[in-house]
């Protein structure tokens, strides 16, 4: 399971700080530290390998498929929700 953006950003910052404070620590000890904090074993190893290869710890933003929602559709949905949903049609 991928980390949510905020979790991933927290992990990246925590990992960088940990590496600065503990430059001589073994990789297995580092993995154990993060596993105790609730980060998955594979996530830590993947992050360390990416860092070792000069890649960013968190993946690059992907463009993906563009949303079909227009700004007017979003505004209408927001207006309906703020009205309490009285005008929503239940299917």
Ranges of H-type helices in the chain:
5-21, 27-36, 41-52, 71-82
Model confidence pLDDT, tens digit, residues 1-37: 455 556 777 888 888 888 888 888 888 888 898 889 8
- Mean pLDDT, all residues of the chain: 80
Contact 88, 77 (CB under 8 A): no
Residues in the chain: 91
pTM for the predicted model, two decimal places = 0.54
Name the residue among 60, 82, 42, 1 with its Cα closest to residue 34: 42
Radius of gyration of the chain (CA): 21
The confidence score (pLDDT) of residue 3 equals 58
């Amino acid at each position: 399971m991928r980390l949510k953006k905020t979790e991933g950003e927290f992990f990246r910052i925590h990992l960088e700080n940990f590496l600065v404070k503990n430059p001589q620590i073994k990789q297995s000890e580092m993995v154990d530290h993060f596993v105790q904090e609730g980060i998955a074993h594979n996530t830590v190893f993947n992050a360390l390998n990416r860092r070792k290869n000069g890649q960013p710890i968190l993946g690059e933003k992907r463009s993906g498929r563009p949303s079909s929602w227009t700004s007017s559709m979003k505004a209408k949905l927001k207006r309906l929700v703020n009205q309490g949903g009285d005008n929503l049609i239940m299917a």
